[in-house]
Amino acid sequence: MDSVYFVADRSTTRGGIINAADEIKCKIVGTIAGVSTILKVKKSGHIHADIAYYNTKFIIGEKEFLLEEPSRNIHVYLDNDKELVVDKFKL
């Protein structure tokens, strides 16, 4: 699958793995209880989440980031130097 888009305002995924080649745009990811949720794209991909809870793992290519606090407006990608960038705000 090239891209995954959550289109409804309160679309939620709680647990499991979402895998796409290019892009994932989601609304709410994970739970307050910390259920493990994984969002994964290829190294040129981007992941966006409106809200994500701790224990959500973002994987871009071979690089990964485990969220340790509830956050909002999240954007995860690799920069020009192939370093993982995580833009987010505390919830």
* pLDDT per residue as tens digits for the range 28-82: 999 999 999 999 999 999 999 999 999 999 999 999 999 999 999 999 999 999 9
Lowest mean pLDDT among 5-9, 19-23, 67-71, 76-80: 5-9
Judged against a pLDDT cut of 90, whether residue 17 lies above it is answered with yes
pLDDT score, position 10? 87
For 73: left if phi > 0, alpha if psi spans -120 to 50, otherwise beta; the answer is left
Q: What is this structure's pTM?
A: 0.94
Domain ranges of the chain: 3-86
3-state secondary structure of 31: coil
